[in-house]
Amino acid sequence: MDTKLYLVRLGEISLKGLNRDFFEKRLRHNIKDKLRPWNSTCTRQKGRLYFEIDAKCPDEIADRAFSTTFGVVGFSQAVRCEKSFDAIVEATKRLISSPPFDDGTGSFKVEASRSDKSFPLNSYQIACELGGVVLDRYPGMHVDVRHPERILFCEIRNDAYLYTSLRKGLGGLPVSCAGKGMLLLSGGIDSPVAGWRMARRGLKQECIYFHAYPYTSEMALEKVKSLAAILAPYLQGTRLHVVPFTDSQLWIRDHSNEEEHTLMMRACMMKVANALAEKSEALCLVTGEALGQVASQTLESMAFTDGMSERVVLRPLVGMDKEEIIATAMKIGSYETSILPYEDCCVIFSPKHPLVRPDATVETDHFHAMAIEGLLDKAVAETSTYDFGVDGRILRSSCDSEA
């Protein structure tokens, strides 16, 4: 099989001591999942993974596999050759006949490193020799070691590796290393970013969306499905649970004081999310709340909703400003979808003057007095699911299996 080679740099996970194998195995697995159906093999050498992938796999797909997988700090498409000076020179000549060297003008430098100290030339000598090869071929080029327009990298390890591009990865920890959580995914800007940030710390997540049809439109659901699809590569695939929430919302409207509606709704979300987490064996909930962003995101409100959850509620955006959240949303590609104008269920039933500093004991009593548990159980039972693959495509939905 004709193959192409990618070299992957690991950051934090190469420092993991005794647990390093566990993290590395997960990372290999997560990358390979994205390279299916192309054959790939992976080997490891000190702080690096080397992937050999069927040459038929398009570059965009390979690039996406490395650039969307947490745990990858950097990656390069590389060529490998025998560790002899002549072979390295030949490989260099081939490599510089293609971009970004082949225009033959401007500046460059050679960055060489040698972990095998038995190689007869040291790093500086390798850089000088290969610099000479480039200049022989392209006399119009010049060396600039401080601000080069392009770099030729040469690493002498078990073999010699040469490459001319070094792309940044996302860093973090491989998804699934830190267990599983349930992400409360609304159609807004914040919750996709919250999910992305927890995925970066290795948390696998399924998503939950509370849908109050027809008060929230089919388009609102489509928007959340699009957001789940955008998140799916980062989450290594995900399941979206769509909870029918209309009856519960109407019950809240008719059985609680107006200023408590949002709090009661959030309490119901916690109860349902915990029940779904139980079924999915997830250990925590994740929300996009940020301290002080809206009335339901005060410390008192968060304390109340925490009390309604049996599982820890992670709020990775709690200390972030909206501008920072928007910048991340743009980076991960969710922003444009999040700002589509379809209302969330929170907005539709939200009171004019919500309680800002609720007393958790009083509100907990009010929640129980509503006797809404039966409706919530029904909502859990009637929840539908959509499974998204690592490429963001829907693989199956519970609606299909019922049909």
Sites of contact with ligand ATP (CB under 6 A): 184-186, 188-191, 208-210, 287-289, 293-294, 296, 344-346
Minimal CB distance residue for ligand ATP? 188
> Do 187 and 289 form a contact (C-beta atoms < 8 A)?
no
Nearer to ligand ATP, 27 or 207 (CB): 207
Closest chain position to Mg ion (CB): 188
Q: Which is nearer to ligand ATP, 237 or 288 (CB)?
A: 288
- Decide whether 169 or 192 has the Cβ nearer to Mg ion: 192
Cβ nearer to ligand ATP, comparing 191 with 256: 191
> In this structure, are residues 169 and 9 in contact, taking their beta carbons and an 8 Å threshold?
yes
**Residue 206 contact among Mg ion, ligand ATP, none, beta carbon within 5 to 8 Å by kind:** none
Q: How far apart are CA 256 and CA 266, in angstroms?
A: 13
Residue nearer to ligand ATP on the CB measure, 110 or 185: 185
Q: Return all residues near 360 (Cβ < 8 A) that are at least 6 apart.
A: 300, 303, 304, 307
Q: Which does 289 bind (CB under 5 to 8 A by kind): ligand ATP, Mg ion, none?
A: ligand ATP
CB of 296 to Mg ion, least distance (A): 10
| Minimal distance, residue 179 CB to ligand ATP, in Å | 19
Structural contact between residues 176 and 204, judged by C-beta atoms closer than 8 angstroms = yes
For the chain, how long is the longest CA-to-CA vector? 84
> Which among ligand ATP, Mg ion, none contacts residue 184 (Cβ within 5 to 8 A by kind)?
ligand ATP
Least CB distance to ligand ATP at residue 299 (A) = 14
Can you tell me the distance from the alpha carbon of 390 to that of 394, in angstroms, rounded to the nearest whole number?
Answer: 10
Q: How far is the CB of 186 from ligand ATP (least distance, A)?
A: 3
Only one residue has tokens 């919302």, namely 249
205 binds, among Mg ion, ligand ATP, none (CB under 5 to 8 A by kind): none
Identify which of residues 49 and 346 has a Cβ nearer to ligand ATP in the complex: 346
Report in angstroms how near the CB of residue 24 gets to ligand ATP at its nearest: 32
Residues near Mg ion, by CB under 5 A: 186, 188, 344
- In the bound state with ligand ATP, the residue whose beta carbon lies nearer, of 175 and 329, is 329
Q: How far is the CB of 187 from Mg ion (least distance, A)?
A: 7
114 contacts 123 by C-beta, under 8 angstroms: yes
Q: Which does 155 bind (CB under 5 to 8 A by kind): Mg ion, ligand ATP, none?
A: none
CB of 200 to ligand ATP, least distance (A): 17
Residue 108 interface partner, choices ligand ATP, Mg ion, none, CB cut-off 5-8 Å depending on type: none
